[in-house]
């Protein structure tokens, strides 16, 4: 499969060992089930996806103390990170299938779906920037709070300021924080906010579409776990539509609206809230080149047949999780999983055939939406078959590979300091709350 170049050496990871570990972890996580923890007026629900992520992370951290068969060394962590990208497309396909059948209801949302994206744009700055300045963070605050700092954010800051600038170090800090604990944090936070019953479930769903596949999956799972099965389907559909907007139009809005707003907010608020003198590059976050690579900036690109194998393995994990966690026989759910994998394969082929100019997630979403669009002759049959696969069963495999890939980022994470981590988490919370707050004004019409 893949040979992973690292620090100038060619080290290979065993795909078979990775996949076996991932299957075992996902099954164990589903068997453990959800755990509800009362917390004041609300509650936190730890779902199987969180157990899967934590188990994978623990195997990477304690690799030196474990038997060779269960050792998740650095090449294996990089391979897990590479597998995570195509694996997420199966979850996107499931969401697309739900969106296709819910298009009439989504059309009723109208401006709500579009305008909630402004909550994504401004929420992170409004919640994160003041705290960053009060904690004494300087220009790093711009990079850390203008977005949730996924790959498009890295590219935008790299182009505008350079990755060695304070802004570059800030967005890198946000990237590493989100990679390591973003899914855990947003799952717990979204679940807690849901338990307060302050927002309509569909408003929370729109807030969950933050533009990150793993974080959207985690947030959707936490919100849907507290809804009826019918409402849970609507939650997934609205989150998918919101996430599609965030990953397409939202990228341009981030460049032309959110980043200028963050720069303006820093210029206005720093003289008022800033603590200490501007240190420039002295004392700012410094990461070595190796740590930047370990933070996920360089991940091997799987060949197409390797991606196909990854989709098949993830599909098998979904079948097992659906059986263990939700009691659906494997043979009964197999046609639905096969349809999802088929949508991913078609979408990925279109993506590659058209020169990779539009993200694969968009093509997979469109293909899946078309399969359940009310005008498609087989829409009801496809919806029935894929409806036997719980989307919660799809999330656990995603976060299994995320957990198996995380230990490589810990050295950089330790050097970021607690202040930038607090700011990063507040930015993530702001994106979710900002979008949900705006969407709340529109869901009464649905």
When pLDDT is averaged across residues 146-159 and rounded to a whole number, the result is 68
**How much is the pLDDT for 113?**
67
Helices (H) and strands (E) in the chain, counts: 22, 4
pTM above 0.75, yes or no: no
Give the mean pLDDT of the chain. 80
Structure tokens of 395? 């999330």
pLDDT of residue 37: 73
pLDDT grade, residue 143 (50/70/90)? confident
Q: Which of 208, 213, 210, 211 is nearest to 224 (CA)?
A: 208
* 220-257 residue pLDDT tens: 888 988 888 888 888 888 888 787 777 666 666 777 88
Both tokens of residue 25? 């972890």
User: Residue 297 pLDDT more than 60?
Assistant: no
pLDDT in tens, 35-82: 777 766 666 667 788 888 889 989 988 888 888 788 888 888 888 888
**Proportion of the chain above pLDDT 90, given as a percent:** 23
Residues 6+ apart with CB under 8 A from 340: 90, 93, 94, 97, 315, 368, 386, 389
For residues 179 and 149, what is the distance between their CA atoms, to the nearest angstrom? 10
Average pLDDT over residues 398-407: 84
Q: What is the pLDDT of residues 167-200, one digit of tens each?
A: 877 776 787 677 667 778 888 899 899 999 899 9
Residue 208, pLDDT above cutoff 80: yes
Burial-class residue 437 by CB neighbours within 10 Å (0-12, 13-18, 19+).
middle
- Read off the pLDDT of each residue in 314-328 and give the average, rounded to a whole number: 94
| pLDDT at residue 74, as a whole number | 82
Q: Which of 233, 162, 231 is nearest to 201 (CA)?
A: 231
What pLDDT does 324 receive?
A: 94
If you average pLDDT over residues 371-395, what whole number do you get?
90
- Residues 169 and 287: beta-carbon distance below 8 Å: yes
Query: CA-to-CA distance for 47 and 33, rounded, in angstroms?
Result: 7
């Amino acid at each position: 499969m893949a040979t992973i170049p690292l620090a100038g050496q060619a080290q290979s990871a065993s795909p078979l060992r990775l996949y076996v570990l991932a299957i075992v972890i996902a099954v164990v996580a589903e068997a453990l089930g959800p755990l509800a923890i009362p917390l004041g007026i609300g509650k936190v629900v730890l779902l199987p996806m969180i157990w899967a992520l934590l188990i994978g992370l623990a195997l990477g951290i304690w690799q030196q103390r474990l038997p060779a068969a269960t050792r998740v060394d650095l090449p294996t962590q990089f391979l897990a990170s590479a597998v995570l990208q195509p694996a997420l497309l199966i979850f996107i396909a499931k969401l697309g299938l739900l969106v296709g059948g819910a298009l009439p209801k989504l059309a009723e949302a109208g401006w709500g779906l579009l305008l909630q994206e402004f909550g994504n744009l401004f929420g992170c700055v409004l919640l994160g920037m003041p705290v960053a300045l009060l904690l004494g963070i300087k220009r790093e605050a711009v990079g850390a709070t203008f977005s949730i700092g996924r790959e498009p954010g890295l590219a935008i800051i790299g182009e505008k300021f350079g990755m060695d600038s304070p802004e570059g170090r800030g967005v890198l800090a946000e990237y590493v924080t989100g990679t390591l604990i973003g899914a855990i944090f947003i799952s717990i936070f979204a679940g807690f906010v849901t338990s307060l019953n302050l927002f309509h479930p569909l408003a929370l769903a729109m807030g969950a579409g933050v533009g990150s596949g793993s974080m959207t999956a985690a947030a959707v799972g936490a919100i849907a776990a507290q809804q009826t099965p019918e409402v849970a389907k609507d939650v997934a559909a609205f989150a998918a539509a919101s996430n599609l907007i965030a990953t397409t139009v939202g990228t341009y809005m981030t460049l032309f609206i959110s980043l200028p707003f963050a720069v303006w907010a820093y210029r206005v608020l720093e003289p008022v809230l800033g603590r200490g003198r501007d240190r420039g590059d002295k004392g700012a976050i410094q990461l070595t080149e190796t740590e930047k690579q370990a933070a996920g900036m360089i991940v091997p690109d799987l060949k197409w047949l390797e991606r196909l194998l990854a989709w098949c393995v993830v599909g098998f994990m979904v079948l097992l999780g659906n059986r263990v966690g939700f009691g659906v026989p494997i043979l009964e759910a197999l046609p639905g999983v096969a349809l999802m994998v088929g949508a991913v394969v078609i979408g990925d082929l279109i993506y590659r055939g058209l020169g990779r100019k539009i993200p694969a997630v968009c093509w997979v979403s469109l293909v899946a939406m078309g399969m359940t669009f009310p005008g498609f002759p087989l829409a009801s049959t496809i919806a029935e078959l894929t409806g036997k696969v719980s989307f919660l069963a799809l999330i656990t495999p995603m976060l299994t590979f995320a957990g198996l890939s995380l230990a490589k980022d810990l050295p950089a994470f330790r050097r970021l300091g607690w202040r930038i981590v607090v700011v990063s988490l507040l930015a993530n919370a702001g994106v979710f709350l900002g979008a949900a707050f705006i969407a709340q004004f529109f869901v009464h019409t649905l």
